[in-house]
Amino acid sequence: MVCLSPEWVIRGQIDRNILPELKFSPIFRSLMRLRGMDNPDEILSFLTPNLGQLRDPRMMKDMDKACNRISRAIEHKEIVGVFTDYDVDGVCSAALIYRFVVSLGQPPPVVFIPDRAIDGYGLNIRGIEELHKQGASLLITADCGITGCKEVDYANALGMDVIITDHHELGDELPKAYAVINPKQSGCPFGGEDLCGAGVVFHLIVALRSLLRDQGMKDLPNLRGELDLVAMATVADVVALSGINRILVKEGLNVLNTAARVGISALARVSGINRKLFSRDIGFILGPRINAAGRVSDARKAFELLTTQDEREAQSLANELNELNRHRQIKEQKVLKEVLLMLDQGSHIGKVIVVAGTDWHTGVIGIVASRLTSVFSRPAIVISIVDGIGIGSGRSVDGVDLHTAVSSASEFLNEFGGHKMAVGLNIDESKIIQFAGALDRLVEDSSGEKESYEVDLKISPFDITPMLLDELDMLGPFGDGNPEPVFMIPSMEIVGKKRYAKGQFKLFLKHSNRVFHTLRCSIDLDSKELPKFVDVAFTPVKMMGGGHCYLYLSLKAISPV
């Protein structure tokens, strides 16, 4: 949704004399300085991340212990059980473990992915029993388990060793697992690294590969080829694209675009992508289709897509996921329409939006919460009530640690988990109003009507050059922790517009005899009401098609002149 901004806050200005030793455009050099980088070596290192900059994964707390236990399982041909989550991060994490173990000539791990509607999120007894029945003596969790104290005790009682790999916030106590790998735990040298679940698992298999090599094992796989899965999970899970994550996603996108696995290639085709893949494609096109399996059907379909090597099977699974995504969109729109009607008819809109309804599909409430954060610029929690029990999913906005706020109000909850930008919870229906009131007192106001919109630099149309577009490519991938640069050009003339379905349209903008096409967008204003001249905030986007490169403007905000 494009914002309507009554005034602008311009964070910096173009300094054509800054950092003269760097052979970049003045716009780009000014932008890097604005991002707190004024050392040429630091800038070049940031712009050219590589795997050699990764830290030694063996430094991660409990890593040696975990690798030694898995090595022993490999030596004795033990059956390894994997318990994972049903989202993109979970299925990518499980696929990483599965593919690595199989590549060693070992028995394929048995994988359990919970049913969102039946099991909910997190390690559970049903899954542990299922893996135990299939002979698993070693249980590895992926993207979950850090708060599963009772469940780990149960697995221990069955004689299973448990290795937890997770990235979510810790509870009051750690599970009594054989090993716990989570950068957020006290004393871990990787503290501060905002890895997703697949990022943690990747470090595990890199460390394990190193150990197996030292033990004399030959023909070990090149794990660079698995970075496409890590990139998918990192972008889809909306963790910070800085530090280690920037390296993993940058390299992972290279893998995606040069040696894409058959499943991802098939999914890109059915999604209509026949060009180079960008991080935004993962976030807005591929990720939702992988997530759709776990939201409205069976996440194992997504897992099979990521692990199959059969092109016909991959195409069939991709078609199915594409159809499930359409089904998900219908359910999502139904819930969103009900929520917006509730808010329009007087439901309280606090500093955190908390809405609840009966039998809303739990597979879409997280997406609806995300939509609400975009519309109302504040955190949102959407709760589906069944038989007096509410299952909730929340999303946050920059500057608000939703997990900390929810944790402070946990007296009203049966259980909860997540991280600063996303939470899941279970609550009695009778406590929802009290919970919402507590959050309203805990969270500082991050919303309200925006009186201004912040941009990086004010530029002219002549500043948008092929050189600048290439430089911005180097600055990516973009996401939390490394946002897209936003520029502003004043007094652009709207010389045309083209309508599309669902209220979207393109604008054709003219300035200094140059005409720019925008990407499709939605503006909270009927296009008939748009004035002739507007100030425009945007990110320039380079798109390939038919062997040619085209420039588009991705609109962020406009203001009538």
In a domain, 258, yes or no: no
CA–CA separation, 560 vs 112, rounded Å? Answer: 54
CA–CA separation, 368 vs 370, rounded Å? Answer: 5
Check whether residue 415 and residue 516 sit in a common domain: no
CA–CA separation, 526 vs 226, rounded Å? Answer: 46
Amino acid residing at 257 = N
CA–CA separation, 511 vs 553, rounded Å? Answer: 13
Give every CB contact of residue 423 below 8 A, 6+ residues apart in sequence: 381, 392, 393, 394, 396, 402, 403, 406, 416, 417
Check whether residue 410 and residue 543 sit in a common domain: no
- Give the largest CA-CA distance in the chain: 75
In a domain, 318, yes or no: no
Domain containing 473 — which CATH number? 2.40.50.460
The domain containing residue 98 runs over which residues? 54-222
CA–CA separation, 510 vs 553, rounded Å? Answer: 12
Check whether residue 74 and residue 172 sit in a common domain: yes
In a domain, 205, yes or no: yes
User: What pLDDT is stored for residue 115 in this prediction?
Assistant: 93
CA–CA separation, 503 vs 521, rounded Å? Answer: 8
Last residue of a domain, one of 184, 205, 222: 222
- As averages over each run of 10 residues, the pLDDT of the chain (561 residues) reads 78 95 96 94 94 96 98 97 97 98 96 91 96 98 97 98 96 95 96 94 98 96 96 93 95 90 95 88 93 94 97 97 95 93 81 93 92 86 95 89 93 91 94 94 62 90 94 90 93 91 82 93 65 93 78 91 86
Q: How many CB atoms lie within 10 A of CB 279?
A: 24
User: What pLDDT is stored for residue 451 in this prediction?
Assistant: 64
- The three-point CA angle 209-211-214 to 5° equals 110
Whole-prediction pTM value?
0.87
User: What pLDDT is stored for residue 523 in this prediction?
Assistant: 73
Which run of H or of E encompasses 128?
Answer: helix 125-133
User: What pLDDT is stored for residue 1 in this prediction?
Assistant: 60
> Which residue carries 């199959």 as its tokens?
308
In a domain, 60, yes or no: yes
Which run of H or of E encompasses 357?
Answer: strand 353-358
In a domain, 330, yes or no: no
Count of domains forming the chain = 3
**Two tokens, residue 409:** 């109000």
In a domain, 313, yes or no: no
Check whether residue 12 and residue 115 sit in a common domain: no
User: What pLDDT is stored for residue 168 in this prediction?
Assistant: 94
Check whether residue 38 and residue 61 sit in a common domain: no
In a domain, 267, yes or no: no
Check whether residue 162 and residue 24 sit in a common domain: no
User: What pLDDT is stored for residue 275 in this prediction?
Assistant: 83
Which run of H or of E encompasses 354?
Answer: strand 353-358
Check whether residue 17 and residue 159 sit in a common domain: no
In a domain, 305, yes or no: no
Adjacent-strand bridge partners of 493: 510, 533
Last residue of a domain, one of 417, 442, 467: 442
Check whether residue 111 and residue 139 sit in a common domain: yes
Check whether residue 72 and residue 91 sit in a common domain: yes
Which run of H or of E encompasses 340?
Answer: helix 311-344
Domain containing 372 — which CATH number? 3.10.310.30
Amino acid residing at 199 = G
CA–CA separation, 377 vs 454, rounded Å? Answer: 14
Domain containing 195 — which CATH number? 3.90.1640.30
Q: At what angle do helices 26-34 and 466-475 cross, to 10 degrees?
A: 30
Last residue of a domain, one of 222, 246, 280: 222
Check whether residue 93 and residue 131 sit in a common domain: yes
User: What pLDDT is stored for residue 526 in this prediction?
Assistant: 53
Check whether residue 150 and residue 192 sit in a common domain: yes
Give every CB contact of residue 523 below 8 A, 6+ residues apart in sequence: 1, 2, 4, 505, 530, 555, 558
CA–CA separation, 389 vs 432, rounded Å? Answer: 10
Check whether residue 218 and residue 74 sit in a common domain: yes
